[in-house]
Structure 1
């Protein structure tokens, strides 16, 4: 009876511990596209248009332009960048477009999978590109190029076309979605600060006209729930569950192997 009560209490504790982990791993609703998304792109890293994940950014430009956007990515996320280029009907030859993703240190990040470069045949109307990055880590060796939390940059441009098509107008759509990998990608250690470099230099008091020196303005886009501290992941929950299961296995093994209890001693008759 005592063993049954102990097992019931342990199972109840496991259920309570696993509940928050399951709730954290479920995808949160994302904001609908079109609301607050940029309608133009930057022409360099410093002027990249800021966008949030889960929203669709649009921009118009000319064939041959470099179009830049930036977005935040936090620890445990695996971002996927998708881009759609709507080509003009007057194009005369093939066009090859490419999307590249850079981290906050402007290091080009390799795509884990996806069609990063595609060629549209003459008369084609659209080109669809995608790039899925590796999972963002909370910490990495200085010599490694692992994705780290902070600002990421998207660069979209044409890399191959005929001279007659140079300068033709195009319209683009860019969207970023992330899958939360969670504790499966957790590592020991974390950055002191996310890699969010300055993207413009303006005067903090330029409207007041007091003549103070200019200060760097950092990216205004952060994750919805803020930057993670780097030490808490659902790996802690599953580690605790594993420890409790090991303790239960030890109790069960002891009960099964100790054998029947010894009979109480009967004092000899006087």
Structure 2
């Protein structure tokens, strides 16, 4: 093998090595850690909304707690961006069994910014608690959020996602009993394997909160005249990811695109060098 061919072969091997991390990044790792923007101590809000409109904002990585009565509908809202897969974990701590009269059934549901109910890929979305049970643990793993989808499709899209927790079946005598709830949302980035062509012009973040805030941090009285010392601003429901919507332009597909182009060019040069060696020797003059 000539020196040129050896160099080309080495370049091909280098290109393959560059593609190896990209292939590993595409693996569907079920034990992916929460997003880097998650709160380190996991502290979160200590109350829950009772409607979609009053849902309490929650960031991925935070743990929200709330004291409620059995039969209440509890709502939280969190942001999810393209390429992310969110997991919702809910724990309900029930009162002493002496105060309860039978089995209760609890359920956690997740809705997108258009209030379409999103199916769980896996997890225990509904759970029953017998009369002597102390806690109920629920889990919902959502599908990966897509950057774009057909209008008729029910795919999850970037924007706000609502978590609704409630009891769906219980003895009527148990209505109103106090319960304690804990909800935690974690998010993992699925990498370039979740990329699609096209993006939404805006994330699905419906409405604004009913309470405006002044620039000095105090709450306005809601009449819209900005009585506080600072000017008022509206707060979008669910907020947005800490690094902004679709902030990351870098994906694993860039590695595949650049690496594939390099390998294609090297393969062309290598093939040309092989075919050129079989041609007419340069020192032999052509026939007249």
**TM-score category by the smaller chain?**
0.7 to 0.9
Q: Aligned-pair distance for 1:46?
A: 1.1
Contact 1:190–1:230 at 8 Å: present in 2 too? no
Change in CA separation of 1:122 and 1:138 when aligned onto 2, cut-off 3 Å: same
Q: Which residue of 2 aligns with 1:240?
A: 258
Mapped partners of 1:264, 1:254: distance in 2: 16
Q: Which residue of 2 aligns with 1:121?
A: 130
1:141 alignment partner, one of 136, 146, 150: 150
Contact 1:190–1:229 at 8 Å: present in 2 too? no
State the TM-score, normalizing by the size of structure 2.
0.79
Root-mean-square deviation (CA, aligned residues, Å) is: 3.2
Q: Aligned-pair distance for 1:247?
A: 2.8
2:107 alignment partner, one of 92, 95, 98: 98
State the TM-score, normalizing by the size of structure 1.
0.84
Q: Which residue of 1 aligns with 2:4?
A: 2
2:161 alignment partner, one of 135, 152, 162: 152
Structure 2: give runs of 5+ residues left out of the alignment.
215-219
Q: Aligned-pair distance for 1:88?
A: 1.1
Deviations 1:134-164 (A, max 9, x none): 1101111122221110111000000000012
Structure 1: give runs of 5+ residues left out of the alignment.
none
Q: Which residue of 2 aligns with 1:31?
A: 39
Deviations 1:199-220 (A, max 9, x none): 423456647428xxx9753136
Q: Which residue of 1 aligns with 2:203?
A: 194
Q: Which residue of 2 aligns with 1:46?
A: 53
Mapped partners of 2:211, 2:184: distance in 1: 28
Change in CA separation of 1:9 and 1:91 when aligned onto 2, cut-off 3 Å: same
Deviations 1:3-31 (A, max 9, x none): 44445456657767877998999965443
Change in CA separation of 1:57 and 1:33 when aligned onto 2, cut-off 3 Å: farther
